[in-house]
Structure formats: structure tokens, C-alpha cells
Amino acid sequence: MKHIGWIASGAAAVLVAAGAITYAVADGDEPSAKVPAADSADAGFARDMAVHHQQAVEMSYIVRDRTDDEEVRRLAYDIAQTQANQRGMMIGWLDLWGLPKVSSNAPMTWMGMGDMASGEDGSLMPGMATNAEMEKLGKLSGKQAEVFYLQLMTDHHKGGVHMAEGCVAKCTVGVEKKLAQGMVDAQESEIQLMTGMLKERGATTR
């Protein structure tokens, strides 16, 4: 499918940019930048988005085992690889800053939305699937698995875009803001792609 080639090339570009950003931070490319505080938007976004991304990676590997559809499998692989790479970067930044990877504050507190997500059944942040939904995905196969994955991932991306936009507005570390904007751009494009893939399968977003 031609759009899979497009999304794959886009994912590759994100990975290249991600590597450059990691190098820049590690190499001290922002010598005048102060280390963010533990309760800053920079630290909060890195912690929360690392958790958010981890579920997307898990979801993507589940569906790869539940369908033979190459279009969905390639999309799932691209999402898993991109988000695993970005997750590693954010955890690396927390290490670089000497900040904890977990917080006693509720998720989204850095956005002033600590009470936004109920945390019900494992859905810790906007867009995250519940434990029951993850279990259901693991039991479906074929077209049913494809549709449910695309619906769950569309919701997941919408929540991720909301969080990334929060970092663009509130974070102070330049490279982190750039990564967040890249997430917004890439995930909005993937939402459009998945909407089309759902339509091809006679389904819609939730």
C-alpha cells in the first residue's frame, strides 16, 4: 500500500531526528539550559509520555500476532519502533537530569489536569486503553483484531497529541519541545491514516 510506504519513511525520519536530539542533549548542546525540576512540565511529560508510549508498543506487538494483514502489521511495527525509541529518549533525559522516573503526583499534574484521568482499570491517562480492552485485543484475530487495534490506537494517539501539545506549551527544554511537536505532527498524520484504514474495513473511530 502506498500510504504504508509513506508512513514508514515518516517513521524513519522521526527516528533519525530522535537520534540527533538524544546526541544533542547528551553532548551538552544546550550548555546554558538549567536542569528541570522534578515537578516541572519537562519532567512530568517525560515520565507520563514514557508510560503512555509503553502501552502503544505493547498494543502494537499484540496485533502483529493476531492478524496476517501486512498493512496493519507494518503500521503496528512502525508505531512500536518509533514510540519505543522515543520512550528510551525520555527515560534517558530523566537519567541525564538526575530526576526520578516515577512521581507521587497523579499523571497529568504537570498540565494542571491531575484529576482528568480516572485511572479506572489501568487507563492512567487520556486515550489509554483499559486492562479489559488490552485483554480483549489479545483474544481477537483477523479483521476484528485489526479494527479494534485501529480504534484503540486512534484514541491513544488523540490522548498523546493532547499531552504533546501541553509540552509544546509548557516545557522549557528546547529539544524536548521539538520532540513533542514532532509527536503532534506524526500522530495527527497517523490518525488520518488509521481513519482511512478503518473505513476500508467498514468501520469507524469510536
Q: Which domain holds residue 43?
A: 2-200
User: In the structure grid, which three cell numbers stand for residue 105, read together?
Assistant: 503526583
**Whole-number pLDDT of residue 14:** 42
**Whole-number pLDDT of residue 67:** 97
**Whole-number pLDDT of residue 117:** 61
**Does residue 205 fall inside a structural domain?**
no
- How many domains is the chain partitioned into structurally? 1
**Whole-number pLDDT of residue 34:** 83
**Length, in residues, of the chain:** 206
**Does residue 31 fall inside a structural domain?**
yes
pTM of this prediction? Answer: 0.84
**Whole-number pLDDT of residue 119:** 65
| CATH code of residue 149 | 1.20.1260.10
Regions in the chain scoring below 70 on pLDDT: 1-33, 116-119
**Does residue 194 fall inside a structural domain?**
yes
**Does residue 55 fall inside a structural domain?**
yes
**Does residue 57 fall inside a structural domain?**
yes
**Does residue 178 fall inside a structural domain?**
yes
* 4-39 pLDDT tens trace: 444 444 444 444 344 444 434 444 445 446 899 999
**Whole-number pLDDT of residue 93:** 97
User: In the structure grid, which three cell numbers stand for residue 114, read together?
Assistant: 491531575
**Does residue 101 fall inside a structural domain?**
yes
Listed as own residue / partner, the contacts of 9-14 with beta carbons closer than 8 Å and 24 or more positions apart are: 10/186, 10/189, 11/78, 11/79, 11/81, 11/82, 11/186, 14/82, 14/85, 14/86, 14/182, 14/186
